[in-house]
Amino acid sequence: MSEDAAFEVVVAAKRRIAEDICELRLGGAGGEPLPAWEPGAHVDLELPSGLVRQYSLCSTVENDDHYRIAVRVLADGRGGSLEVDSLSEGHRLRIRAVRNTFPLSDAGRYLFIAGGIGITPILPMAVAAANRGVPTHLMYLVRNAGTLAFADELVREGLSVDIVLTDTDGIPDLTSAVRSSPGAQIYCCGPAPMMDALQAVAAAEGRSEDVYLERFESPQVAAGSGTTTIRCVRSGVSVCAESEETFLEALRGAGFDLPSSCEMGICGTCQITVVGGTPDHRDMLLTPEEREAGAFLPCVSRSNSDHLDVDL
Q: Which residues are at the interface with ligand FES (CB under 6 A)? A: 260-263, 265-270, 283, 297, 299
**What are the φ and ψ backbone dihedral angles of 155, each rounded to 5 degrees?**
-70, -50
Nearer to ligand FES, 136 or 260 (CB): 260
Whole-number minimum distance, CB 270 to ligand FES, in Å? 3
**Spatial distance between the Cα atoms of 68 and 275, rounded to a whole number of angstroms:** 42
Nearer to ligand FES, 201 or 270 (CB): 270
Whole-number minimum distance, CB 283 to ligand FES, in Å? 6
C-alpha pair distances (Å), 82 with each of 26, 53, 78, 120? 17, 12, 9, 18
Whole-number minimum distance, CB 78 to ligand FES, in Å? 11
Compute CA 140 distance to the chain's CA centroid, rounded to the nearest angstrom: 18
Whole-number minimum distance, CB 252 to ligand FES, in Å? 12
28 contact partners, CB below 8 Å, separation of at least 6: 7, 8, 9, 10, 34
Nearer to ligand FES, 175 or 218 (CB): 218
Structure-derived torsion over alpha carbons of residues 278, 281, 287, 289, reported in degrees to the nearest 10: 0
Nearer to ligand FES, 91 or 252 (CB): 252
Whole-number minimum distance, CB 28 to ligand FES, in Å? 26
**Spatial distance between the Cα atoms of 177 and 58, rounded to a whole number of angstroms:** 24
Nearer to ligand FES, 68 or 281 (CB): 281
Whole-number minimum distance, CB 101 to ligand FES, in Å? 16
Q: In a 3-state reduction of DSSP, which class is residue 281?
A: coil
Nearer to ligand FES, 119 or 285 (CB): 285
- Select from 29, 17, 10, 138 the least CA-distant residue to 72: 17
